[in-house]
Amino acid sequence: MKIYLVGGAVRDAMLGRAVKDRDWVVVGANTQQMQAQGFKPVGRDFPVFLHPQTREEYALARTERKSGHGYGGFEFHATEAVTLEEDLLRRDLTINAMARDESGQLIDPYNGARDLESRCLRHVSDAFSEDPLRVLRVARFAARYYHLGFHIAEETLVLMRSMAASGELAHLVPERVWQETLSALAETDADHFFSTLADCNALAAVLPEIDSAIERLQQFPLRALRHYQQHCSSPLQRFALVSLQTLCAGETECETLRHLAERLRLPQSYRELALLLNQYLPALQHPAEDGARLWSLLERLDGLRRPERLLQLLECATMVSQLQQRSSLSPEVMALLRQARSIDTSSLIQQGVQGPALGEALRALRIDLTQRWIEHQLAGEPNNG
């Protein structure tokens, strides 16, 4: 039995980046031997185990054969006879097909170190074309390493274009498309995920709503995302901002956004923030100078119960307004909400105010507080309650 550190941990260490997760390949072993040493099996499709102490993943060396469509259309073969070179051959990019043995010696049968040095994303073998998810993965790596000067090898781009033309990407399940998109939105240069997919004609297959908008709006959504990602690292807020410039342009009910959310089964938080930004941006860019109207807006946005979501929305609106050179409701309004939440109603209760009347009286106090907050804002005075 021999154990090798593989994949991203080797790559990132050579790039001088922090290593977050370590994956291991075991050569010359079987399931029974792994379990006898205390490893816990967790893989459903192929033998993957958790180390009894570190809980890191150890996978038996394996080969694979295409047996159907999509990401899961493979048959795996894992025995003691599978070599490390055979296991690395099935990987997507040469920079991910390197390993280190227990002494730290680099094993690099497919010249990943050379491509790492030349900042090149290159597929390992023609087996790359058997897994459509790899088109999205390469686009994500292009976004992750763009600031380091990485580029995609021309022969890999040609292969990605042929995969897009084959229709194989249509077999990707929505959850996998969203997971790759979500991961890409967290990258420093997220716009290059979308532009790479567009360059290889894959964006229309996996994210047709965004592809259509980029074409219709002449690349403006990508330029806008490039601006926003300089000021915002949150994938949640980046998605909301992308939706504003891409999915709801000219729509009153955000039908395209709603369709994409249903199709990709988006988490509720992503769906909600994107819809709120599209629906309420005009109101946030023209905040009422009347206490009752502004408080009504904050109520509609559920600011008292969902302050974190409101703050995310206000930050998005501020970034959009800065790009458009317009004003918007300041995130400082969160201080008003904190004051409104802390209003003491004990004196009202002592006066015998109760039931619906108590709620109405409390709301009146909050409207009055909001009016005073507005006046302080207009006067440019600090308002600390």
In a domain, 312, yes or no: no
Ranges in the chain, pLDDT < 50: 385
In a domain, 14, yes or no: yes
Q: What is the CATH number of the domain that holds 17?
A: 3.30.460.10
In a domain, 28, yes or no: yes
pLDDT of residue 385: 47
- pTM (2 decimals)? 0.87
pLDDT of residue 253: 87
Q: E strands along the chain, which residues?
A: 2-6, 23-27, 40-41, 48-50, 57-60, 63-66, 74-77, 99-100, 106-107, 120-121, 151-152
In a domain, 239, yes or no: no
Buried b (16+ CB within 10 A) or exposed e, 121-158: bbbbeebbbbbbbbbbbbbbbbbbbbeeebebbeebbe
pLDDT of residue 47: 87
Give yes or no for a contact between 187 and 140, defined as CB atoms under 8 angstroms apart.
Answer: yes
pLDDT of residue 352: 87
In a domain, 97, yes or no: yes
In a domain, 369, yes or no: no
In a domain, 158, yes or no: no
Number of domains in the chain: 1
pLDDT of residue 285: 94
> 12: domain range?
1-125
Q: What is the dihedral of CA 103, 104, 105, 108, to 10 degrees?
A: 140
> Which residue has 């360059």 as its token pair?
199
